[in-house]
A and B are shown apart, each in its own frame.
Chain A
Amino acid sequence: QLQLQESGPGLVKPSETLSLTCNVSGGSISTRSYYWGWIRQPPGKGLEWIGTIYYSGSTNYNPSLRSRVTISADTSKNHFSLKLDSVTAADTAVYYCATCAEWVGWFGPWGQGSLVTVSS
């Protein structure tokens, strides 16, 4: 059974880089035709897609975040990562990783989520 688990610092200072990793078990991130994505949710607000990386390594980012986001994958460790540069308090959110099969278009399963607070 495919499982995803986010990990990374829970506190990041303003103007620094937020870094999170999603560890995948029960399947390979190299599996053909799967996207691996990041979604965030500010406290009390809705879901926002951040970006995805395809099994081949190609990436797609939310246009509103594209200038600050990098998603990468390490197939040897079977995990993928998120970096968000120049963070502000507005980037405080629960960050979820999830997967999406190319032939379905919806995300599932999801990780449990990781709260990242941006504060000095």
Chain B
Amino acid sequence: SYVLTQPPSVSVAPGQTARITCGGNKIGSTSVHWYQQKPGQAPVLVVYDDADRPSGIPERISGSKSGNTATLAISRVEAGDEADYYCQVWDSTTDHLNWVFGGGTKLTVL
């Protein structure tokens, strides 16, 4: 089945750019979505369809994809960006549908 691989943790100083990757052998052929989850809260969508932002999500947060790796970038990182981030794809190419999440990346703001 589909597997999405994320680094367990990323650390960045305030004001710098954080990059979180998501790898998978079918990423190149499907849309990747990203969620932010803060402690005790439900996940919140921050990027959909590889690079689009829902309303209310700051432009500092962006998504991109190259080959079989998707990347979530957060520029001018702030303390409030500290959270867990998850990538997700929807495998609808077979008769059996699957929603797959990456293992998650903890972003630490130094």
Contacts and interface: CB of A to CB of B under 8 A. Distances in A.
A60 B91 CA distance: 12
A111 B43 CA distance: 10
B90 A105 contact: yes
A106 B42 contact: no
Interface in A59-108: 60, 62-63, 96, 100, 104-108
B43 A49 contact: no
B60 interface: no
A106 B101 contact: no
Interface string A107-119: 1101111000000
User: What's the dominant secondary structure at chain A's contact region?
Assistant: loop
Contacts of A113: 42
User: What's the dominant secondary structure at chain B's contact region?
Assistant: strand
B80 to A, nearest CB: 20
A37 B100 CA distance: 12
B96 to A, nearest CB: 6
Contacts of A11: none
Contacts of A47: 35, 37, 43, 86, 88, 101, 104
Contacts of B43: 47, 96, 107, 110
A46 interface: yes
Contact of A107 (B37, B49, B92, B99): B99
B31 interface: yes
Interface of A: 37, 39, 46-49, 52, 60, 62-63, 96, 100, 104-108, 110-113
